[in-house]
Amino acid sequence: MPSTINHNWREEVLKYRYPFSPESTLRSESVFIGTDLLMDACIYIKRPVQLPLRLHSLDGTRQADTLRAYICDSNSDICAYFDIREDTQNALVHMPEGLSCGVVVLNPPAVRRVVNVAYGRVTQLPESCAVFLLETTPVTRTKYLRYVRVNGVTLTGDVSLVAGPGCEFEEDAGCLRLNVRGAPPAEGGATPIRTINSVLSKDIWLQNHPQANIRIFSSGEALQIKAARDSI
């Protein structure tokens, strides 16, 4: 990959934590990431993840003079990785399946520092160490719900929700409502939504795409999924 031509740009970036959040500590007990390791990053994850992403661990046991940096989401699920060597200036980011999903720009002197310290072992990084800014993890445009997570199972594509006893769905002016009829179910009793794609629902997480044309709201005893016609 090509080298960076404008080295003054590197000097400017060193003043900030970019591409990590301002709250990132950029250090662990054994490894100093610093503001000079990653100069830039652009990561397109092609499956449902919980943002923000962060550096999860550094694996220096794979091969000589090579460090594999793993990226995870906010649930600590590994979703990408990139390999760096002492002379690396740019590295492709790959998903665990091997698909390319982005690129990072590195600073060779800082790469040598980190490789020398982390080589030969696996280093777990704290959750607050290196959290990527949302600007570095752009999302694709979509017109649909991004995903539904039910009891730890992530569902994508067509989603079928089945209401429980005493509950019903209504559609009104582009709004999907889940109404509870009568008294709310007693604690430990029936749930408003019985199944989603045949998965029994005890713990449900609805996540709309940041640029989707729908929005999810809850109000009183009604769950609303509204069409956001003005969204981009």
Predicted local distance difference test score (pLDDT) of residue 103 = 95
User: Where are the domains positioned within the chain?
Assistant: 7-136, 145-227
Predicted local distance difference test score (pLDDT) of residue 105 = 92
pLDDT tens across the length of the chain (232 residues)? 455 555 665 566 666 788 999 899 999 989 999 988 998 999 988 777 888 899 999 999 988 788 999 999 988 999 999 999 888 899 999 988 888 889 999 988 999 999 989 988 999 999 999 999 888 887 655 445 555 666 666 666 666 777 777 777 777 666 667 777 766 555 545 566 667 666 666 655 565 655 555 666 665 556 666 665 543 3
Predicted local distance difference test score (pLDDT) of residue 46 = 73
SS3 string, the chain, reads CCCCCCHHHHHHHCCCCCCECCCCCCECCCCECCCCCEEEEEECCCCCCCCCCEEEEEECCCCCCEEEEEEECCCCCEEEEEEEECCCCEEEEECCCCCEEEEEEECHHHHHHHHHHHCCCEEECCCCCCEECHHHCCCCCCCCEEEEEECCEEECCCCCEEECCCEEEEEECCEEEEEECCCCCCCCCCCCEEEECCEECCCEEEEECCCCCEEEEEECCEEEEEECCCCC
